[in-house]
Structure 1
Amino acid sequence: MPERLTGKAGIRAFLLERVGVIVDTEAIREASGNQVQYGRRLRELRDEEGWPIESHNDAADLKPGEYRLAGPPPAPPPPQFARGISARLRAEVLERNGHTCQMCGIAAGELDDNGRKARLHLGHIMAKSQGGKDTRENLRALCSRCNQGAKNITQEPPTWLWLLAQLRRASEHDQRAAYDWLSTKFTEEPS
């Protein structure tokens, strides 16, 4: 004997067998396997999956506590595969960021604190979960360690005034090292 469906799957199967038929909340609760949240599952079918489920608010012939699947539900959308960031956009962001982590400053291939070569990833300035997009302006180079630690933390890259203030506070030796690095970076021929 096949296993009885419960929850949203049970409500789905129950309603599909009764298109156009009026059912009450007790029957829907039983179809859910007597789950407490059967009303929420019914709303999810209607509001999130677009099922044409009518209630007394939609049809005059229905009383409170009565529902009807007015017609067949919409076909589920085809599966969507995550679209990655294009190789071109990745290269543009890494080049713009000088192939260095924008949080800790380590360059690709340099040894990190654990003696491993730094690997750069693209991280979002505004996390995708907070509405950030896969755009050049919202991406930055991050090493593995910083990228892992930066999950859903929005941190703007430093401004040139902040960098200038940091350089002015640094020792002459560090200022010269920064100058040497910058002059090498901006006088090299692009490959």
Structure 2
Amino acid sequence: MTLPSWEDKKLGTMKRAALWLVTVVGEGNVFTKGELRAAFPETSQIDRRMRDLRDHGWRISTNREDIDLEPHQQRFVSQGEPVWEPGKGRSKSAAAITATQRREIFARDGHICRSCGISAGQMYPGTYEAAQLDIARRSVRGPGGAADVQLVTECNRCRVGGRELTADLTAVLDAVRRLGPMERKLLAGWVEKDRREFSELEQTWAGYRTLPEESRAQVRKQLGLEEGL
């Protein structure tokens, strides 16, 4: 059976990416992010469309799964569902979240936004805007590269800002494994309490980072880093 051309722009980007892998890269071979973007210069999120293929059984490894790869390389391991065929490659419709699920998720997450920690009705710092909480669908990439959609409590701001983001569980697990004993103990305490206390020094640094340059200069002078303004 003759395959459609990966250059046919009447096909969706994910389908074209799949055809590019099959006809240009070939199973078992390595390609770079630069080669992928050069093949699809008109698509700003081609990396994301390529990752979507994993939801359809395609195996595409990065240097997290294949130690022989460089950070800018990926390997096309094996083909999954032929997404370019009629009726294939369709996104599964998300099931509606029930009122019971909503209550359970709010309770599980402590009735706070899991991204920024704000609670419902609390004012965002420096504004008169009150936070509203809702349930968001968060894409989480786990070991093996497959993405799984999980439910999480988020405020209205974080839901909008993180709509296209994918959380990377594998990267977090790898980072935990690299921690020394003292760092691991400290992190375990934060995780157990589900909270981190910031020191006055850290809060002062965070405040400094919000200042425009003219105001930063005054802080540097206070620290003896500048003779004058």
* TM-score of the two chains, using structure 2 as the length reference: 0.34
Q: Give the structure with the higher percent strand.
A: 2
Q: Which has the higher contact order (CA 8 A, sep 6+)?
A: 1
Q: Which has the larger radius of gyration?
A: 1
Taking structure 1 as the reference length, the TM-score comes to 0.39
